[in-house]
Structure 1
């Protein structure tokens, strides 16, 4: 499931033309933090919420499995 969280973040960030590294920097995360979520057994919900807020999406959006990325609306 964590791979899907990373892929969802990556897809939304790509739609908004925001590099993952910029998200990490702006949120004060270490380099590679979000990328490591694809192999991590545990992920801080506070960090997931921070990324969701940054990307202007509902935090649950990042946790959905099998979602059609074309159906996600991203905030301005």
Structure 2
């Protein structure tokens, strides 16, 4: 069961991620991940779509670390 506070945070972050460019999405990853961790810590079920967004942004953040490495 989600709480109203988490619902509002989820909606806000989802809207921000959807509207963000690639660089901003990477910056939002830590906020999304922190929310997922806090929900789990409190025993609140994390919605599947939020877990998917967290995984997707984590993958993007890892890829961004390698964008400027010389080959």
Provide TM-score, normalisation by structure 2. Answer: 0.33
Q: Could you say which structure has the larger radius of gyration? A: 2
Of Structure 1 and Structure 2, the greater helix share is in: 2
Provide TM-score, normalisation by structure 1. Answer: 0.32
